């Protein structure tokens, strides 16, 4: 997993509340091999039934091309537990998602895939929306070591994050990596157990 420290990237706004995981990645793509999975990101919102880009959708607008930060409405990622929703966002290029709140399972899945979900006060998220909409290709800075988000106009806001999750993101570790890092201790435990209980 790619480590996360800082991102200073173009931000895309999605004001709508309750964007669910089926909107992020429609279920019919979930059987696909994870190769260029970003092409399915918000597929039915980005494209019409004939596969033509919808001009009004935010990610189809030139100002938001190459965005690495997504500023979202409340309860982003609600709905089913599909981890594919995070796959598609990560593969599309998003490193951080900023919102007043997230669906619980989606929030947890982000940490397993190198995406930083940041819960921010609703008034600061609104400030971010205003900046992004006023300044084409505005950039937002997300600093994980300092636990701070900085708006395009310099206004900053701190955020909370669990210390273990922060460590894992900084080091690029998912749960499997964490377990493998304890291989020596696991081997010693198994040897001791076999000796005591042959």
pLDDT digits (tens, 9 = 90+) for 118-134: 999 999 999 999 999 99
- Confidence band for 190, pLDDT divided at 50, 70 and 90: confident
Which residue do the tokens 């091999």 mark?
Answer: 33
The Cα–Cα gap between 17 and 28 comes to: 23
pLDDT, position 122: 97
The Cα–Cα gap between 94 and 30 comes to: 19
The Cα–Cα gap between 17 and 7 comes to: 24
Q: Which fold has domain 6-173?
A: Aconitase; domain 4 (3.20.19)
- Confidence band for 182, pLDDT divided at 50, 70 and 90: low
* Residue 168: strand, helix, or coil: helix
Q: How many CB atoms lie within 10 A of CB 79?
A: 17
What's the whole-number mean pLDDT along residues 10-28? 96
The continuous run of DSSP H or E covering 117 comes out as: strand 116-119
Does residue 181 have a pLDDT over 70? no
pTM: 0.89
Burial (CB count <10 Å: 0-12, 13-18, 19+), residue 28: exposed
Which segment of 97-101, 103-107, 144-148, 184-188 scores lowest on mean pLDDT? 184-188
- Confidence band for 12, pLDDT divided at 50, 70 and 90: very high
- Confidence band for 30, pLDDT divided at 50, 70 and 90: confident
The Cα–Cα gap between 107 and 101 comes to: 9
């Amino acid at each position: 997993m790619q480590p996360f420290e800082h991102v200073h990237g173009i931000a895309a706004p999605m004001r709508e509340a309750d964007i669910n995981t089926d909107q992020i990645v429609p279920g019919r793509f979930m059987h696909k091999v994870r190769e260029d999975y970003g092409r399915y990101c918000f597929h039915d919102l980005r494209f019409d039934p004939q596969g033509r880009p919808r001009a009004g959708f935010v990610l189809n607008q030139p100002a938001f091309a190459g965005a690495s930060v997504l500023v979202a409405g409340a309860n982003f990622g609600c709905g089913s537990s599909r981890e594919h929703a995070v796959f598609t966002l990560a593969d599309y290029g998003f490193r951080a998602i900023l919102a007043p709140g997230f669906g619980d399972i989606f929030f947890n899945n982000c940490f397993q895939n190198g995406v930083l979900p940041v819960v921010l006060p609703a008034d600061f998220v609104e400030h971010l929306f205003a900046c992004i909409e006023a300044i084409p290709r505005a950039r937002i800075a997300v600093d994980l070591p300092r636990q701070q988000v900085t708006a395009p106009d310099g206004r900053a806001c701190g955020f909370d994050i669990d210390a273990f999750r922060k460590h894992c993101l900084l080091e690029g570790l998912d749960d499997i990596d964490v377990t493998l890092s304890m291989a020596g201790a696991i081997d010693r435990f198994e040897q001791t157990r076999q000796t005591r209980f042959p």
